[in-house]
Amino acid sequence: MSFIKTIKDIPKEEYLAPGHRLCAGCGAAIAIRLALKALRGPTVIVNATGCIEVATTIYPYTSWRVPWIHVAFENAAAVASGVAEAFKIMEKKYGVKRPDVIAIGGDGGTFDIGLQALSGALERGHKMLYICYDNEAYMNTGIQRSGATPRGAATTTSPAGRVIPGKLERKKDLIEIAVAHGVPYAATASIAYPVDYINKVRKALETEGPTVIHVLTPCVPGWRIDPSQTITIARLAVETLVFPVYEVENGKYRINVMVKKPKPLEEYLKLQGRFKHLLLPENKWLLDKLKEDVKWKWERLLKLSNL
Amino acid sequence: MSGNKVLGLSGNEAVAYAIKQANVDVIAAYPITPQTIIVERLSEYVNNGELNAAFIPVESEHSAISTCVGASLTGARVFTATSSQGLALMHEILHIAASLRAPIVMAIANRALSAPINIHCDHSDIMNARDTGWIIMFAENVQEAYDLVLQAFKIAESHEVLLPVAVNLDGFILSHSLEGVNVLDDDEVSKFLPKRQPIYPVDFEKPVTYGPLALPDYFFEIKRQQAEAMEGAKPVIERVGIEYGKLSNREYKPIKAFGMEDAEVAVVALGSSVGTLRAVARRFRKKGRKIGVLGLTLFRPFPREELIKYLEGVKVLIILDRAISYGSSGGPLYLEIAGVLYRSGLRPIVLNVIYGLGGRDLRPSDVEAIYEEGFKCAERGRAERELLWVGVRE
């Protein structure tokens, strides 16, 4: 495969075998399955501890049809650095075939505990792709807030209480952090736009140097959504501007899914139990803040894209 | 036999020289005193084209060891070095490196753990990591640091072992001391250490999942196998020590013994202090006093049987610890040996000496006092105090 035009062009090969123990409707499972459709040859996956790791490799079973390495939670980028550089030098010294290297981490393993390792790897400039599947909380341990949890969301460590109605702080901006390292390619992607997403993974693999893809992955138990609505909600995140789909190539910003007439944010929120309290009149102040976050980011993106 | 090439090298430089000769593929490390010179030299070798390796200047020791694990699983020959806080920061991944059966060689320039912050020698760093599943060896001098690093690759990468190896050299005392070091010729080293042959390299035709989740139905068996692997390393370590001896005329055994044929009082220790202990023991021997010295080159796997062989007939055994095991009945080496003695049925009088923390020197006069105390105990047939703190203001 090179770049694809429609979903009909998506390769049939499955590198994430069925039978894993991820939830029905798991957005992360879809994100990883789709990413693997973009492989261009021998590839090593380095996976941080998290939902994808625990649910796909319960010994003695594995869902991975590509070489796969898990070491710990916070170090996927560092382990991938070692894999990438080892193959690079062994190609030079011994003629060993050099594969693509993809590191995968959830939002906890990327935005929070793995951020230092990621920053180091991006600064050192290894040829590797880092994919963050972002379900906006520590879902594997039971829905605790992370630096990626959006303002207002209820989690088990930012519950919608009578005094504090959910997470008060805004979400970190992973792509801006990556861009600040001067990486040649960084992009957001949505599982509701699989052609765009798969092409981005492919483009990242074909880029020299470190690349980052941030994909939003709705979580059925964590977001308290209906398993049949994963893709609908992922699409609404884009249509309400909560999660703009864009890329930054050598510093140049491009919005890939232009939203001319954004839908009201409430359409996205009302389908999710984690935001139920935000729609109550007494919490309007917090909802307004979330709306400001969304507006600020989108306007900034338009400016950066020269639109 | 080796050409008699002698180089003036500090401990750190000797380690770096051995790593260059071992033709490592990947080095990932972070600067920390007193280890830093190892990685400085290695980056010079790489940047000057003397060593064809990837030098990965990571952003922390946690990432250093993580990078090494990733590189080792690909089949590369891998090295890192650290000290003290750096080793403590690696701690989580030390366990994983051993459990994933990833051969890695690490040099540790031993240094005290904070607080108070201190850059000088003791063994609190490695003793804190003694149960991480690494093979652990101690150098007595710079020559041994050079020799052990070369042997470490052969041991770690052996298909009968597949475990990471830590080679300890006392911070500053060895890391920064200049010594005339007998080095092997490059081609002798390449013959002793040919390119690593990984047993399960990353294979794209038959992809392997490394580091899966194992639940109560399998986890225990995997750990049992790991314990077996550690025991199984012993004959390999001995074999490599003999093979290295043939190559260099310097044979290595898990324990170095001095005067143990008829020793009434024996002292056992790790690292550079062994040299001081032996020097003072020679003086005692000249006066006809039956003192013996045991220097442990190997700490993990612990050379139980070998140690017991030396201890029959010993009336007083003095165990020197350069680390504390807070709240226990003695230092880490004492605890180790007490267990071995109990199982063996041997019951010498045992004295435990805590010494040298944070770089406090162990002077020959301290050693004399320790030996005199040992002989006093032998005469009396009992110890007045079993735990002695030597060289500390009390």
ipTM of the shown complex: 0.97
Exposure string over B255-287, b if 16+ CB within 10 A, otherwise e: bbbbbbeebbbbbbbbbbbbbbbbebbeebbee
- Interface residue of A56, A90, A94 to substitute, partner B, most B CBs within 10 Å: A90
- Interface residue of A43, A81, A118, A141 to substitute, partner B, most B CBs within 10 Å: A81
**The predicted structure's pLDDT at residue B203:** 83
The verdict on B317 and B181 lying in the same domain is: no
The shortest C-alpha distance from B76 to chain A (Å) reads 6
Q: d(Cα A46, Cα B209) in Å, to the nearest integer? A: 10
**The predicted structure's pLDDT at residue B3:** 61
Give the rounded distance of the alpha carbon of A64 from its chain centre: 19
Write out pLDDT tens, residues B218-263: 999 999 999 999 999 999 999 999 999 999 999 999 999 999 999 9
The verdict on B207 and B263 lying in the same domain is: no
User: Could you give the 3-state DSSP secondary structure of residue B268?
Assistant: strand
Kindly list the residues from chain B whose CB atom is less than 8 angstroms away from the CB atom of residue A42: 204
The verdict on B224 and B273 lying in the same domain is: no
Of A54, A64, A83, the CB nearest to B74: A83
**The predicted structure's pLDDT at residue B201:** 81
The verdict on B218 and B108 lying in the same domain is: yes
Write out pLDDT tens, residues B266-294: 999 999 999 999 999 999 999 999 999 99
**Which of A43, A123, A50, A32 lies closest to A83, judged by CA?**
A43
Does the CB of B194 have a partner CB in chain A at under 8 Å?
no
The verdict on B92 and B163 lying in the same domain is: yes
**What is the CATH classification number for the domain harbouring B354?**
3.40.50.920
A188 is a domain residue: yes
Whether A89 and B53 lie within 8 Å, measured CB to CB? yes
**The predicted structure's pLDDT at residue B6:** 98
How many angstroms separate the Cα of B259 from the Cα of each of B264, B276, B284, B305?
A: 10, 14, 11, 19
Q: Which of residues 202-221 of B touch A (CB under 8 A)?
A: 202-204, 207-215, 218
Note down the domain range covering A165. Answer: 7-304
Place of tokens 């080159």: B297
A2 is a domain residue: no
Residue pair A94/B195 in contact (Cβ under 8 Å)? The answer is yes
A33 is a domain residue: yes
Residue of B nearest to A99 (CA): B204
Write out pLDDT tens, residues B224-234: 999 999 999 99
Q: What is the domain count for chain A?
A: 1
Element (H, E) at B63: helix B61-73
Residue A1 above 70 pLDDT? no
Residue A120 above 90 pLDDT? yes
Of the three residues B248, B267, B290, the one that is the final residue of a domain is B248
**What is the CATH classification number for the domain harbouring B100?**
3.40.50.970
Does the CB of B25 have a partner CB in chain A at under 8 Å?
yes
**What is the CATH classification number for the domain harbouring A139?**
3.40.50.970
The shortest C-alpha distance from A128 to chain B (Å) reads 13
Contacts across the A-B interface (CB distance below 8 Å): 150
The verdict on B119 and B210 lying in the same domain is: yes
Question: What number is the average pLDDT over the span B364-368?
Answer: 98
The verdict on B126 and B212 lying in the same domain is: yes
Kindly list the residues from chain B whose CB atom is less than 8 angstroms away from the CB atom of residue A57: 209, 211-213
Write out pLDDT tens, residues A243-302: 999 999 999 999 999 999 999 999 999 999 999 999 999 999 999 999 999 999 999 999
Kindly list the residues from chain A whose CB atom is less than 8 angstroms away from the CB atom of residue B78: 82, 86
Residue B120 above 60 pLDDT? yes
Kindly list the residues from chain B whose CB atom is less than 8 angstroms away from the CB atom of residue A65: 207
Of B64, B207, B212, the CB nearest to A59: B212
Question: What number is the average pLDDT over the span A96-115?
Answer: 97
The verdict on B122 and B27 lying in the same domain is: yes
Kindly list the residues from chain B whose CB atom is less than 8 angstroms away from the CB atom of residue A97: 204
**The predicted structure's pLDDT at residue A307:** 85
**The predicted structure's pLDDT at residue A2:** 78
The verdict on B279 and B182 lying in the same domain is: no
Of the three residues B232, B248, B264, the one that is the final residue of a domain is B248
DSSP state at residue B176: T
Kindly list the residues from chain A whose CB atom is less than 8 angstroms away from the CB atom of residue B102: none
The shortest C-alpha distance from A18 to chain B (Å) reads 15
Joined tokens for residue B340:
């071995």
A181 is a domain residue: yes
Q: What share of chain B in percent tops pLDDT 90?
A: 97
Joined tokens for residue B306:
């070998």
Residue B342 above 60 pLDDT? yes
A232 is a domain residue: yes
Whether B63 and A97 lie within 8 Å, measured CB to CB? no
Q: d(Cα B241, Cα B233) in Å, to the nearest integer? A: 12
Write out pLDDT tens, residues A205-223: 999 999 999 999 999 999 9
**Which of A87, A21, A40 lies closest to A201, judged by CA?**
A40
Whether A71 and B212 lie within 8 Å, measured CB to CB? no
The verdict on B277 and B153 lying in the same domain is: no
Kindly list the residues from chain A whose CB atom is less than 8 angstroms away from the CB atom of residue B58: 78, 81, 120, 124
Joined tokens for residue A43:
């590839």
Q: d(Cα B222, Cα B96) in Å, to the nearest integer? A: 13
The verdict on B270 and B304 lying in the same domain is: yes
Whether A71 and B52 lie within 8 Å, measured CB to CB? no
Of the three residues B231, B248, B265, the one that is the final residue of a domain is B248
Residue A194 above 60 pLDDT? yes
Question: What number is the average pLDDT over the span B323-344?
Answer: 97
**The predicted structure's pLDDT at residue B27:** 98
Mean pLDDT over all residues of chain B?
Answer: 97
Q: What share of chain A in percent tops pLDDT 90?
A: 99
Question: What number is the average pLDDT over the span B46-54?
Answer: 98
Question: What number is the average pLDDT over the span B81-91?
Answer: 98
**The predicted structure's pLDDT at residue B233:** 98
The verdict on B89 and B174 lying in the same domain is: yes
A127 is a domain residue: yes
Kindly list the residues from chain A whose CB atom is less than 8 angstroms away from the CB atom of residue B222: 59
Note down the domain range covering B265. Answer: 256-390
Does the CB of B80 have a partner CB in chain A at under 8 Å?
no
Does the CB of B147 have a partner CB in chain A at under 8 Å?
no
Q: What is the domain count for chain B?
A: 2
